Amino acid sequence: MSNETTGAVAATVVGVKESLVLIEFDETVEVMKNEVGYICVGDARLKAEILRVRGRTADMQVFEDTRDVKVGDRVELSGEMLSATLGPGLLGQVFDGLLSPLHVLAQKYGFFLPRGVLVSALDTEKKWQFTPDVAIGDSVLPGGVIGSVPEGPFKHKIMIPFNEAEAVKISWIQGGSFSVDETVARYTTATGEEKSLTMVRRWPIRRPIPEGLLRRRHAERQFPVLPLTTATRIIDTFFPIAQGGTGCIPGPFGAGKTVLQSLVARYSSVDIVIIVACGERAGEVVETIHEYPQTKDPRTGGTLMDRTIIICNTSSMPVAAREASIYTGITLGEYFRQMGYGVLLIADSTSRWAQAMRETSGRMEEIPGEEAFPAYLDSAIKNLYERAGVIRCADGTTGTLTLIGTVSPAGGNFEEPVTQSTLGTVKTFLGLSADRAYRRFYPAIDPLLSWSRYLDQLAPWFKQELDAEWVSDVKNMMTLLERGDGIYQIMQVTGEEGITLEDFVDWQKSVLLDMVYLQQDAFDEVDACMPRERQLESFRLLKKLVTADFRFADKNQARDFFTKLTGHYKNWNYSRPDSPDYAQYQTHIEQLAAQYLPAYELL
């Protein structure tokens, strides 16, 4: 069966279960998994995706409200997989989970969007100034750059389609002002076929972009060798994340995940930030959308939104689109990585993404796994995080895609399936503690619960760029925190009288480390963002303080000393390096330490 008007293959609805629709098609029709179809309800065409094919029937998840969908309704199958539209104009935009620009929809339809509305992700009327980088007759590899257009602070590279089998020869190309749909070049494939090239690409969101390229060795996946600088001390020092690496931030509600991810997005050493709000509360997402255009970007001097893309599929939006939104975001990340840029993708939160999969799996009557999540939950999470990485692109540049997922386990239970599957995949675990959040510790990352496999992996960089003893010093500091916690547990039972003065001093040193280095003030302009150079200076000073053999007459004297020292150190953290207060508080720290260790020199 075919649609005489559109030429699309047609099927018929034979069953409806909430957002899941069962369709039936002719035996001569070829239907594939993840193919896009449209359910015709009156004048509306509801977008859907095929999840499972069984004989002449298929299960489709509908990305919109299935109200009024009934048995016998016509379904148009597109023959194309669910894909993302890639090209100039993505940066600075807010999209839904299927890459529809929300600001365009709001301008046309107001706050309440009608069903079946399809809007292009890119502005097809805007003109872009295209500058060629190759000439007629040049041979270019799949994914190779033929030219670029300026987009904000970046060059948006126009590339040969990733799915070409071999290198192609440029037969025509010209510079000038073009819309994204206009032809900017033509090329001839290895089989002699001539094709036109626009600035727009489409790529199936559930298929990694580098997959085919790696097979042909036109692109090469590399080992992460550089750390991601976040300007958050506890992450950069104790639990680093590699550029092109993976990390997760699990924690209970109210533990500060949103604030932490906002600061990581703002200050991280990446070019482009993609935020996927896959099921987050609408209020928090609205706050992000309002703040980013008004926040000055410390890297470019413009606004943070200039280099940010927000994929917005909140908890009040369709569940099926929530499941697809994270794949849409990571496809955009891979696209910019292929241009040689550093990309950070923050998924908030993968728990609600997994819950969307659980709902869909239940409607499909699949055999459930633990806590009714689908049996393939673990493999789905692993496949997602494996799309991060470092790629040496076809033009010789290196691009990175770093993926950080926030997890919201109910009641802060880290033993639940989503958290456990994530921990088995990522290499950095930043566990947030409800107790630390309650005590107003920010970030509420529990140093005794968190870990990073990148600390040893990135040791060569730390030794060369920071300090030859950096890794061992960090591990010694961790040992101090563990010893301090053990002493504190004893004090909870016996009181201060049950420990020695030496143990009390060790506990005070661990508290000093926690208060002045692991904690930061997210609302202080200086302390919220600490560059690596100052982190190194602070860490060296703190190392001398916690390894010093202070002599105290009693515990009260020790407590008084560390209380004053903590106050001076915090004020030093709040001081700009070029201000008089900076040198003043550093002098106070040195003079205070010298009172209990006359021969001790800090500098």
Look at strands 308-313 and 94-95 and give their pairing.
parallel
Q: What is the pLDDT of residues 65-82, one digit of tens each?
A: 898 999 999 999 999 999
Q: Is the pLDDT of residue 600 over 70?
A: no
Q: Is the dihedral of CA 259, 262, 263, 268 positive or negative?
A: positive
User: Mean per-residue pLDDT for 570-577?
Assistant: 96
Say what the pLDDT of residue 550 is.
Answer: 92
Summarize pLDDT for 262-279 with one digit per residue, the tens.
Answer: 899 989 999 999 999 887
Q: Give the pLDDT band of residue 337 (cuts 50, 70, 90).
A: very high
Q: Binding site residues for ATP, as ranges?
A: 251-258
215 pLDDT above the threshold of 60: no
Closest CA to 328 of 88, 47, 83: 83
Residue type, 436: R
Average pLDDT over residues 567-594: 95
* CATH 2.40.50.100 assigned to 128-199: yes
Q: Considering just the CA atoms, what is the radius of gyration of the chain in Å?
A: 28
Q: At residue 424, does pLDDT exceed 70? A: yes
Question: Which residue type sits at 189?
Answer: T
* pLDDT number for residue 500: 96
C-alpha to C-alpha distances, 540 to 27, 169, 467, 527, 570, nearest whole angstrom: 72, 56, 10, 17, 16
Residues near 374 by beta carbon (within 8 Å), at least 6 away in sequence:
357, 358, 361, 366, 368, 380
Is the Cα dihedral 520, 403, 325, 398 positive or negative? positive
Angle made by CA atoms 334, 383, 428, in degrees to the nearest 5: 85
Residue 224: pLDDT band with limits 50, 70, 90: very high
Average pLDDT over residues 171-197: 95
**CATH T-level topology, domain 9-81:** Thrombin, subunit H (2.40.10)
Instruction: Look at residue 298 in the predicted model and tell me its pLDDT.
Output: 80
Would you tell me which CATH number, out of the four given (3.40.50.720, 1.10.1140.10, 3.40.720.10, 2.120.10.30), belongs to the domain 470-596? Answer: 1.10.1140.10
Q: Looking at residue 601, what is its pLDDT?
A: 47
286: confidence class by pLDDT, cuts 50, 70, 90: confident
Q: Is the pLDDT of residue 212 over 70?
A: no
Contacts of 587 (CB under 8 A, 6+ apart): none
124 versus 349: the higher-pLDDT residue is 124
Q: What pLDDT does residue 213 have?
A: 46
Given this model, what pLDDT does residue 210 score? Answer: 64
Non-local (6+) Cβ contacts of 229 within 8 A are 236, 267, 268, 269, 531, 532
- pLDDT over 90 percentage in the chain: 73
What is the reported pLDDT for 361? Answer: 93
Count of beta carbons in the 10 Å neighbourhood of residue 221: 12
Residue 598: pLDDT band by 50, 70, 90 thresholds? low
pLDDT for 6 beyond 70: no
Q: How far apart are CA 20 and CA 366, in angstroms?
A: 13
Q: Which CATH number fits the domain 233-452, given the four candidates 3.30.565.10, 3.90.120.10, 3.40.50.1970, 3.40.50.300? A: 3.40.50.300
Least confident interval from 232-246, 277-291, 416-430: 277-291
Please write the tens of the pLDDT for every residue from 373-393: 999 999 999 999 999 999 988
Q: What is the pLDDT of residue 92?
A: 94
Cα 383 from Cα 208, distance rounded (Å): 10
Chain segment 44-54, per-residue pLDDT in tens: 899 999 999 99
Q: Which residues are annotated as a binding site?
A: 251-258
| Residue ranges of the chain assigned to CATH 3.40.50.300 | 233-452
4, pLDDT greater than 50:
no
Q: What is the mean pLDDT of the chain?
A: 91
The predicted-structure confidence for 520-542, as pLDDT tens digits, reads as follows 998 898 999 999 999 999 999 99
What's the confidence (pLDDT) of residue 218?
52
Q: What is the CA angle 158-131-309, rounded to 5? A: 45
Alpha-carbon span 304 to 347, nearest angstrom: 18
Q: How far is the C-alpha of 413 from the C-alpha of 430, rounded, in Å?
A: 14
The whole-angstrom separation of Cα 388 and Cα 243 is 9
Enumerate the CATH 2.40.10.170 domain ranges in the chain, comma separated: 9-81
pLDDT of residue 189: 93
Neighbours of 50 (CB within 10 A): 23
pLDDT tens digits for range 13-45 = 999 998 999 999 998 888 999 999 999 998 889
- The torsion defined by the Cα of 363, 369, 374 and 377, in degrees rounded to 10, comes to 170
The predicted structure's pLDDT at residue 316: 66
Give the position of tokens 């915090």. 570
Q: What is the location of CATH 1.10.1140.10 in the chain?
A: 470-596
Distance CA 300, CA 436 (A): 34
Query: Among 20-34, 154-168, 192-206, 287-301, which is the least confidently predicted range?
Result: 287-301
Dihedral (C-alpha) 101, 107, 112, 116: value to the nearest 10 degrees? Answer: -50
